[in-house]
Structure 1
Amino acid sequence: MITVIVDTTSTFDDVMLKSTAWMQILTLCHMSRIEVVLPDVVLRETARHWEAGALEAIQIANGKIAGLKKSRERLVEMGIDTKGLVDSETVNAKADKSGFEEATREKLLSLGVRVEPIPEHVDVETILQRDLARKKPFSPSGKGFRDALVWETVKAVVLTSAANAKNFFVTNNTGDYCQAGGLAPELEAEVKNAAGKLLWVANLEELLKHGALAPMVAGLAKTSDELAKFLAFATTTRDEGAEPLPVEQVVKEAVISALENLNGEDVKTDNAATTGLNFSGLGIPSELEGLSIDAVDADASSLTWQTYETYDDTTLLIQAEIEAEITLDGFAYKSDVGYLVDDDGNIRMLEWDWNDHMAHVGTTVMARLSFQIRLEQGADFVEECEFEGAQPTWPASS
């Protein structure tokens, strides 16, 4: 499992969490592809930054409103028509820091983010001893109280992580946490016995380019507007007492989301050199190599599903199937391309001179894709939706 622990440096300039990077992180979290941890200290500090920004914005707006009124009065004195100038009322809104903090907390929790409190074992004495010893993240001047609380939260998460788990600490506060382009050795020493691994990245953009996350990001919605719509739907609060969404709707949304995540995935065919999702048996010529999914166009009306197991009386294991047209691109030796490319477009030439020996080609196949889903009864989203296999559509249609 990949866990992302975020410091205030990633919220300081984006307190509303609306950047593309934040929306991608929150989407992956809601889809259970990664786990996101926001220390409670970071949330509260973010609320403080929001309050300062809100007060400044109100002050600027009221200053401009006052200036507009004075300009209008001066223009009237000069006999100049002011019909195009509309007076505005003074902004009397309050910067409700506690309201912002509560709303942000609810939003994050609804998306699956862990807002992690300060570990119970951390008390004033713990922090005082760290300060007196001038241990990072405390600076020689004694600055670093909140940073120390964040680090104690990071440490607690890492020390309780599973074997081989990747824990990313996202912070650009390099002076307090880092040294020579990496996490400070004295901090690394505090988590050296952890089963999971702690990795440092400076910001969310750098994190999303990491090899562990980049393939996930490639399968997400392509535009910021699409991400925003997804997150808005995910955080919509239904009326108290409203009936749970029908299982069919939850399954459909999970499968459509899983299909989007297939983009960019490598596929395995009858060619022994290929690896990835098992697409063998779909009649893809073995001469094609390095195939990956470029697009998936599914027929939503073909979706079928059935519960094949129930345990603990609340957890459903479901198998869902859907027919889709899958566009793939890959490579073939130039010596094979002549008889592979056909007029029907089953194998298409994309670029002849990919290199001296290979051509870049594409193909399209029809398949019935199956997914294994784990769903808690009454939930509005699935716990897991994993690709299970691909079968040709022709036996079912014959």
Structure 2
Amino acid sequence: MTTVYFDTSIIMNESFLRSAYAQAILKACSLLNIAVAIPDIVIDETLGNYPKKLNVKARAYEAARKDLAKIADLEAPAFSKEGVFDAYEAGLNALLEKHEVTVIAYPDVGAKELVEKAYECKKPFDEKGIGHKDYIVWRSIKDHIEDGDAQAPHIFLTNNTRDFCDTDDNDNVILHDDLSSQIADDALKPKVYTSLKAFYDAELLPNLEGVALADIPDLNAETLDELTSAYLGEELPQRTAYGIEGVPFSNEVSIVHYGGHQIEDTQLSEFEDDVIIEVSGTVEIEVTGFVEKHAFYLDDEEGLSVNVIDGDWNDHVMLVGTTVETAFVLSIVYSKEDSAVAGYNLSLPQEIDAYADY
């Protein structure tokens, strides 16, 4: 039986496990007899970060609601946070219980050990000795493996590549040697995936029953293309990223317009009443961002391939834009019981994310 461990970054990236895609993954793990284990500290980090994210989104919603009300008749109600956290916590606990997720207890780690390990500056600590929560996450997983409480092979899902990971000669993400060297048996060392999507493609999809699009009620190639267009149109405008491959600027890139798309491949997998439809292809997007003025003027003779929107944004940078074609993968969760889409997940493989602390 494979055992897969979730880090906080993975949970937060999937709407705190509220997305239909994440819940479909948990269901597929249950059906394929893959054990899911989450360190208790990850649960605590998740519950600690949820109200922070909720506050950020609520403030943004309220600001937008007030601005719209100034220029148009608006009936959108104010958002109340009362009871939201309690409902989320109860829902999370119910989800973990439903899919028989193991919650790994905190390891027996004292303050003295944390201080000593911090001064060693080995992963998951950084060069300044910061990383005590990551250390507890790792010790939870390591102890769970070594105590014989879980069966190999082991898989670690984390997007925190800075503190847990390294790359091999082929640029594949692997567990950092500071960590993998702590487990003597190579067969017990966890394989790393940096997203649920990567885990699904490599570990779940090959073991799920395939299904043809013609077997799905109310779906065909035309309606799938329409759904793809609608979801790209909903998700892409105003999406931000640290950078996107092929875009000659980074740090704060905003997608402001979605052009056309081209579907190149479609894969379907079925488990119980759910179908995951993976649609991949390319999409044309218009993006904006900032470049240093000196970089713009001192670049090669042809200059940067961008349009200047505001050449005097401030003393140091100018606002620029460009249009690029980039890859997309749209994972649609379809409920056969309801004959309707339950949710979807959109990823841009060429999107570059800055590191986020959790």
What's the TM-score once normalised by structure 2's chain length? 0.52
In structure 2, the residue matched to 1:213 is 204
Give the alignment partner of residue 103 of structure 2, picking from 102, 110, 115.
Answer: 115
Q: Distance in 2 between matches of 1:145 and 1:88?
A: 43
Q: Distance in 2 between matches of 1:88 and 1:163?
A: 49
In structure 2, the residue matched to 1:35 is 35
Q: Distance in 1 between matches of 2:20 and 2:90?
A: 23
In structure 1, the residue matched to 2:134 is 147
Contact 2:156 2:192 in 1 (8 A): yes
1:100 Cα deviation from its structure 2 partner: 2.4
Q: Distance in 2 between matches of 1:141 and 1:154?
A: 23
1:61 Cα deviation from its structure 2 partner: 2.5
What are the Cα deviations for residues 78-124 of structure 1, in whole angstroms up to 9, with x where unaligned? xxxxxxx24444333337545523431222122111122212x2222
- Amino acid of the structure 1 residue aligned with 2:204: L
Contact 1:163 1:195 in 2 (8 A): no
Question: What is the DSSP-based 3-state SS (H/G/I as helix, E as strand, rest coil) of the residue aligned with 1:175?
Answer: helix
Q: 1:30 to 1:128 in 2, by over 3 A?
A: same
| Alignment partner of 1:100 is 2:71 | no
1:151 Cα deviation from its structure 2 partner: 0.3
Contact 1:68 1:87 in 2 (8 A): no
- Amino acid of the structure 2 residue aligned with 1:204: L
In structure 2, the residue matched to 1:270 is none
1:3 Cα deviation from its structure 2 partner: 0.4
1:153 Cα deviation from its structure 2 partner: 1.0
Give the alignment partner of residue 188 of structure 2, picking from 175, 181, 196.
Answer: 196
Give the alignment partner of residue 186 of structure 1, picking from 167, 174, 178.
Answer: 178
1:14 Cα deviation from its structure 2 partner: 1.8
1:165 Cα deviation from its structure 2 partner: 1.6
- Amino acid of the structure 1 residue aligned with 2:147: T
1:215 Cα deviation from its structure 2 partner: 2.5
Q: 1:86 to 1:156 in 2, by over 3 A?
A: same
Contact 1:161 1:194 in 2 (8 A): no
What are the Cα deviations for residues 244-295 of structure 1, in whole angstroms up to 9, with x where unaligned? xxxxxxxxxxxx968999xxxxxxxxxxxxxxxxxxxxxxxxxxxxxxxxxx
Contact 2:2 2:153 in 1 (8 A): yes
Q: Which has the higher contact order (CA 8 A, sep 6+)?
A: 2
Q: Distance in 2 between matches of 1:172 and 1:257?
A: 27
Q: 1:217 to 1:145 in 2, by over 3 A?
A: farther
Q: Distance in 2 between matches of 1:258 and 1:97?
A: 31
1:169 Cα deviation from its structure 2 partner: 0.7
Contact 2:16 2:46 in 1 (8 A): no
Contact 2:40 2:105 in 1 (8 A): yes
Q: Distance in 2 between matches of 1:99 and 1:117?
A: 23
Contact 1:219 1:260 in 2 (8 A): no
Report matched runs for 1:1-398 at 5 Å.
1-19=1-19, 21-31=21-31, 33-71=33-71, 85-94=73-82, 96-97=84-85, 99-119=87-107, 121-161=108-148, 165-180=152-167, 181-193=173-185, 196-210=188-202, 212-218=203-209
Q: 1:124 to 1:106 in 2, by over 3 A?
A: farther
Contact 2:8 2:46 in 1 (8 A): yes
- Amino acid of the structure 1 residue aligned with 2:181: A
- Amino acid of the structure 2 residue aligned with 1:171: T
What are the Cα deviations for residues 348-381 of structure 1, in whole angstroms up to 9, with x where unaligned? xxxxxxxxxxxxxxxxxxxxxxxxxxxxxxxxxx
**Over alpha carbons, which structure has the higher Rg?**
1
Q: 1:25 to 1:89 in 2, by over 3 A?
A: closer
Structure 2 residues not aligned, in runs of 5+: 168-172, 219-269, 276-358
What's the TM-score once normalised by structure 1's chain length? 0.47
1:60 Cα deviation from its structure 2 partner: 2.3
Q: Distance in 1 between matches of 2:194 and 2:124?
A: 16
| Percent identity of equivalent pairs | 25
Q: Distance in 2 between matches of 1:88 and 1:259?
A: 35
Q: 1:42 to 1:26 in 2, by over 3 A?
A: same
Q: 1:258 to 1:12 in 2, by over 3 A?
A: closer
Question: What is the DSSP-based 3-state SS (H/G/I as helix, E as strand, rest coil) of the residue aligned with 2:154?
Answer: strand
Q: How many corresponding residue pairs?
A: 217
1:190 Cα deviation from its structure 2 partner: 1.0
Structure 1 residues not aligned, in runs of 5+: 73-84, 226-255, 262-398
- Amino acid of the structure 1 residue aligned with 2:78: T
Q: 1:32 to 1:114 in 2, by over 3 A?
A: farther
